[in-house]
Amino acid sequence: MSDDKHNLSSAGTFTKLSHAGRAPREFHGFVNTPVYHGSTVTFPDVETMMSGRQKYQYGRRGSPTTDTLADALSALDGAAGTVLCPSGLSAVTTALLSVLDAGDHLLMSDSAYDPGRYAATTVLNRFGIETSFYDPHIGAGIEAHFKPNTKAVLTESPGSLTFEIQDIGAISEVAHRHDAYVIMDNTWATPVYFRPLDHGVDIAFMASTKYVVGHSDVMIGTVAANARAWRKLHTYHGSMGLCVGPDDVYLATRGLRTMGVRLARHFESALKVATWLEGRPEVAKVLYPALPSHPDHALWKRDFKGASGLLSFVTRTPSLDAVKAMLDGLSWFGLGYSWGGFESLAIVADPRKSRTATKWDEPGQLIRLHIGLEDVDDLIADLAAGFDRLNAVAG
Ligand SMILES: *Cc1c(COP(=O)(O)O)cnc(C)c1O
């Protein structure tokens, strides 16, 4: 959906964010596509009903509300099509099950989102799909892990806990030579900062719960595919009866319109916080690819247009009690899962629990921060006071 006078494909990212998927003239000039609540769609006559040619036929299979979001995301990703799923995790499983059959082998990054790992090693395993894990730094070396039945590679770059950047182009080149699909979790960068399909990815998904929605109020996943994978994705998604309620789709579309400016602010503030953290004596390591000190900074710079608001750091002290004292007393950072909203968040996490191909041997505690849209000086002061509490316990 979009007005004919626009040439979206040649437009810039911010223009696409503002205009893609909208067609005001179809809705009496109203800027936003209305929220269509509907299961049944009626037909003017039996002939039309039997022809299958009416644009909308049944609520589960889409409406102008869902098309607006899907079309806007397809324009951003340069995709053949996009489907909507009820959560980011269902986007992971939808991407995987669209292309995998019984007897297939899946290669998954060791840094991938943990619940996706769990789904692969339990449910997919039950259906005869075998998963093995690879070092996210593997690049073209992934060739050695290919088996005759390897059908897909699941990448996530950077890993959303440990922030390794993957050489997506090199991995895609190998995978395509083996006739396998490349799938990418692009939740961290979004197509504003990295367009997976331009780097050889066949299916790119996001937990749009995060930056697309942007306001910590809706669960939704989105999956975009290139021409090679679109039919498989569309067929699987339709067959499994996946759909998202129109109010949630509307809120996700509303969030998308401002995602570019929000991301720019997240990037600016996160880089300031990351740089400040690097200068702190309590910090052993900051994990944020936009920092020149990050081991994958060159790769990030080559492939990405920016960085979002999520980063981690490792404390020098291994004391969990010291970290609890720091985090429990934070005033602007909430303690909570998820991220991508307007507000700042912190968690403490242990990557050891979800690694099999690589070893995480940092002695300190890993703290992940989401840097929200607050004044960055307030956030830094909050963290500085937190380090005082940490030092009081760690000594
Ligand atoms: C949150 C998240 C998911 C899952 O999304 P939900 O909407 O919470 O189900 C998947 N991948 C990444 C990287 C995430 O951060």
Residue 185 is among the residues annotated as catalytic for this protein: yes
Counting from 1 in the atom list of ligand 1, the atom nearest the Cα of 160 is 13
Q: For residues 390 and 282, is the Cβ–Cβ distance under 8 A? A: yes
Banded pLDDT at 236 (limits 50, 70, 90): very high
**pLDDT digit string, tens, across residues 308-325:** 999 999 999 999 999 999
Spell out which residues line ligand 1, taking CB within 6 angstroms.
87-89, 92, 113, 156, 160, 185, 187, 207, 209-210, 219, 221, 338
Taking CA atoms only, the protein residue closest to ligand 1 atom 2 is: 207
Give the mean model confidence (pLDDT) for residues 163-178. Answer: 98
Residue nearest to atom 4 of ligand 1 (CA): 88
Can you tell me the distance from the alpha carbon of 39 to that of 93, in angstroms, rounded to the nearest whole number?
Answer: 25
SS3 48: helix
pLDDT class for 367, splitting at 50, 70, 90? very high
How much is the average pLDDT of 272-281? Answer: 98
Alpha helices per DSSP H over the chain: 13-19, 46-51, 64-77, 88-99, 114-119, 125-126, 168-177, 190-193, 227-239, 246-257, 259-278, 297-303, 320-328, 376-394
Predicted confidence (pLDDT) per residue in 183-193, tens digit: 999 999 999 99
368 annotated active-site: no
The Cα–Cα gap between 314 and 375 comes to 24
Alpha-carbon radius of gyration of the chain: 22
pLDDT of residue 9: 84
Ligand 1 centre distance from Cα of residue 90 (Å)? 9
Mean local confidence (pLDDT), 42-54:
97
Report in angstroms the alpha-carbon separations of 21 from 24, 262, 308: 10, 20, 24
Which two three-digit tokens encode residue 375? 């004044």
Cα separation, 169 vs 182, in Å, equals 10
Atom of ligand 1 nearest to the CA of 92: 10
- Tokens 């799938």 — which residue? 183
Question: Taking 90 as the threshold, does the pLDDT of residue 4 lie above it?
Answer: no
Q: Does residue 182 have a pLDDT over 80?
A: yes
Q: How much is the pLDDT for 5? A: 62
Residues 278-295: pLDDT tens digits?
999 999 999 999 999 999
Looking at residues 222-230, what average pLDDT do you find? 98
pTM of the predicted model, to two decimals?
Answer: 0.97
How many whole angstroms separate alpha carbon 308 and alpha carbon 262? 9
pLDDT tier at 76, thresholds 50, 70, 90: very high
Spell out the residues 6+ positions from residue 330 whose beta carbon is closer than 8 angstroms to its own: 346, 382, 383, 386
Distance 87 CA to ligand 1 centre (A): 8
Q: How confident is the model at residue 6 (pLDDT cuts 50, 70, 90)?
A: confident
Phi, psi of 264 (to 5 degrees): -60, -40
Instruction: Select from 111, 211, 338, 339 the residue to mutate for testing ligand 1; criterion: most ligand atoms less than 8 Å from CB.
Output: 338
CA distance 26 to 216: 31
Task: Give the per-residue pLDDT at 395.
Answer: 83
The answer to whether residue 223 scores a pLDDT higher than 90 is yes
Q: What is the pLDDT of residue 8?
A: 86
Choosing from 25, 60, 147, 177, which is the catalytic residue?
60
Give the angle 3-212-25 at the CA atoms, nearest 5°.
15
Instruction: Yes or no: say if 283 and 323 are a contact pair by the CB < 8 Å rule.
Output: no
Q: Which of 2-11, 144-153, 292-301, 378-387 has the lowest mean pLDDT?
A: 2-11
What confidence score (pLDDT) does residue 2 get? 53
Q: Which two tokens stand for residue 278?
A: 């690097």
Contact between 94 and 205 (Cβ < 8 Å): yes
Whether 166 shows a pLDDT value over 70: the answer reads yes
Catalogue all structural domains in the chain, each as residue range(s) with its CATH number: 8-257 (3.40.640.10), 260-394 (3.90.1150.10)
Q: Report the percent of the chain where pLDDT is more than 90.
A: 97
Alpha-carbon span 304 to 191, nearest angstrom: 10
pLDDT above 70 coverage of the chain, percent: 99
Known catalytic residue: 361? no
Per-residue pLDDT tens digits for 83-93: 999 999 999 99
Per-residue pLDDT of 95-115, as tens digits, reads 999 999 999 999 999 999 999
Between CA 94 and CA 254 the distance in angstroms is: 24
Query: Of 67, 71, 113, 167, which residue is the catalytic one?
Result: 113
Residue 144 tokens, joined: 């050695």
Rounded Cα distance, 305 and 142, in Å: 25
Q: How many helices (H) and strands (E) does the chain have?
A: 14, 12
210 a catalytic residue: yes
CB atoms within 10 A of CB 137: 17
Nearest CA to ligand 1 atom 8: 88
Confirm if 3 and 23 have CB atoms less than 8 A apart.
Answer: yes
Cα first-last separation, the chain: 61
